[in-house]
Amino acid sequence: MIFPYIEFRGFVEERIFRPMIPVTFEFGGKSVTTYALVDSGADYTILPIEIAGRLNLKLEGQINFEILGAGENSFRVYKSPENIKHIIKKRGFRDITCMAEVYFAESGVTTLLGQKGFLSSLDVNLRGKKRELEIKV
Question: Letter for the amino acid at 27?
Answer: F
Distances (CA, A) of 42 to 11, 46, 58, 75, 104: 23, 8, 24, 13, 13
Q: Which of residues 38, 59, 86, 111 is near another protein by CB under 8 A? A: 111
Q: Which of residues 2, 8, 58, 82 is near another protein by CB under 8 A? A: 8
Residues 64-103 that bind another protein (CB under 8 A): 68-71, 73, 75
Contacts of residue 16, Cβ cutoff 8 Å, sequence gap at least 6:
7, 8, 9
Q: Which is nearer to another protein, 48 or 117 (CB)?
A: 48
Chain residues that interact with another protein, rule: CB under 8 A: 4, 6-13, 16, 22, 31-35, 37, 39, 41-42, 46, 48, 50-51, 53-54, 68-71, 73, 75, 105, 107-112
